[in-house]
Each structure stands twice: as structure tokens, then as C-alpha cells.
Amino acid sequence: MAIARETKGGIDHDKTLSMYGQYVMNTYNRLPIVFVHGQGVELWDAKGKRYLDFLAGIAVNGLGHCHPGVVNAIRSRRAC
């Protein structure tokens, strides 16, 4: 499972997974999915398929994706 940011040219699913395998330590099996967008407990992959995020809590917290309160708090933080 990889996370990619969509660009003007779109997402190259296979290239993203290849780079993910090259640069991320293989500590456990990954799913062949490239997530590009999240909102709350929903995620979308590079092919437009929607998923429910049941993995929240594995090495992260369970706040969801793009929660407005969290996004605003991060955006309002001034650089030191």
C-alpha cells in the first residue's frame, strides 16, 4: 500500500508501487494499492476505487484523513 500525490499527468500506479518497493523497508507484506486521496475514514486509490480505512491505528492515530480541525491547526502553525 502506497500513498501518492496526484499531479497534472495523473498517477502512474505501477511506477509508484515500484518506487515504494525500492525505497520503503519491507517489514511486512503490503497491498498493491496506491492511495491518492482521503477524507475521514474513506480512501481512494489511483484507479478511483473507494475504500474504508480499517487500518487506522497501525503506527498512526485514528483521527482520519484530512480532518478540517487538524488541517487548520497544521496550516496555522508558524515556522520557528
For each of the domains in the chain, give its residue range(s) and CATH number, in order of start: 2-76 (3.90.1150.10)
CB 1 within 8 Å of CB 13: no
pLDDT tens digits for range 31-77: 788 888 888 788 888 888 999 887 666 555 666 677 788 788 888 87
Gap between the Cα atoms of 12 and 33, Å rounded = 12
Q: How many Å apart are CA 36 and CA 77, to the nearest integer?
A: 25
Query: Is the pTM for the entire model greater than 0.85?
Result: no
CA 25 to chain centre: 17
